[in-house]
Structure 1
Amino acid sequence: MRITKLIVVMPLAISVPAFCQSSVTLSGTLDAGISYVSNEGGHGNAKFDDGIARPNTLNISGREDLGGGVVAIFKLTDQFMLGSGSIVPGQSLFSRTALVGVESAQYGRLTMGNQFDFMNESLLFGGNDGGAEYIGGLYDFRNGPFNKLALPNNPTGSFEWDRLSEDLVENSVKYVSPDYNGLSAGAMYGFGGVAGSIGSNNSASFGLNYANGPFGMAAAYTNTKSDVAGAQASVRNWGVGAHYKFDSVVATVLFTTVHNSANGGGVYQGEVAAVYHFDAFWALGAAYSYMKGNSVVDNNHANQVSSSVSYALSKRSVLYVSAVYQRTNSGANALINGVLDPDGASSGPSQFIGRVGFVTNF
Structure 2
Amino acid sequence: MKKTLLVAALAGVFATAAHAQSSVTLYGLIDAGITYTNNQGGHSAWQEKSGTVNGSRWGLRGAEDLGGGLKAIFTLENGFNIANGTSGQSSRMFGRQAFVGLASDQFGAVTLGRQYDSVVDYLAPLSNTGTQYGGTIAAHPFDNDNLNNSIRFNNTIKYSSINYSGFKFGGTYSFSNSSQFANNRAYSFGATYNYGPLNVAAGYLQLNNDVASASFAANRAGSFTGSSGAGAQTGEWTFLAGRQRTFGAGLNYAFGPATAGFVYTQTNLSDAAGGGISGTQSGTGNATQGGIAFRANSARFQNFEGNVRYALTPALSLAGAYTYTRANLGGGVNPNFNTVSLQSDYLLSKRTDVYLQGNWQHVSSNSEVGAYLNGLSSASTTQNQVAVTVGMRHRF
How does the TM-score come out when normalised to structure 1?
0.87
Q: What amino acid sits opposite 2:49 in the alignment?
A: D
More helix by share: 2
Q: What amino acid sits opposite 1:318 in the alignment?
A: D
More strand by share: 1
| TM-superposed deviation, 1:89 | 5.7
CA distance in 1, matches of 2:38, 2:18: 62
CA distance in 1, matches of 2:52, 2:372: 16
Higher Cα Rg, which structure: 2
Change (3 A) 1:134 1:274: farther
CA distance in 2, matches of 1:186, 1:211: 15
**1:62 aligns to what?**
62
Change (3 A) 1:318 1:20: closer
Residues 266-292 of structure 1, C-alpha deviations (whole Å, 9 max, x = no match): 101010010110111111111111000
| TM-superposed deviation, 1:227 | 2.1
CA distance in 2, matches of 1:89, 1:222: 20
CA distance in 1, matches of 2:310, 2:116: 29
CA distance in 2, matches of 1:316, 1:20: 26
Question: 1:165-314 residue pairs with structure 2 within 5 A?
Answer: 165-166=148-149, 167-195=151-179, 197-230=180-213, 233-263=242-272, 264-296=298-330, 298-314=333-349
CA distance in 2, matches of 1:102, 1:355: 41
Q: CA RMSD in A?
A: 2.1
How does the TM-score come out when normalised to structure 2?
0.79
CA distance in 1, matches of 2:46, 2:33: 11
Conserved in 1, the CA contact under 8 Å of 2:89 and 2:95?
no
**1:337 aligns to what?**
374
SS at 2:271 equivalent: coil
Conserved in 2, the CA contact under 8 Å of 1:136 and 1:323?
no
Residues 287-318 of structure 1, C-alpha deviations (whole Å, 9 max, x = no match): 11100012527111111111011110001111
Change (3 A) 1:106 1:19: farther
Conserved in 2, the CA contact under 8 Å of 1:134 and 1:275?
no
Change (3 A) 1:134 1:79: closer
CA distance in 2, matches of 1:346, 1:229: 34
Conserved in 2, the CA contact under 8 Å of 1:136 and 1:324?
no
| TM-superposed deviation, 1:135 | 2.6
Moved more, 63-72 or 17-26: 17-26
Moved more, 129-138 or 91-100: 129-138
Conserved in 1, the CA contact under 8 Å of 2:197 and 2:254?
yes
| TM-superposed deviation, 1:104 | 2.1
Q: Which runs of 4+ in 1 moved over 4 A?
A: 17-20, 229-232
Aligned length: 329
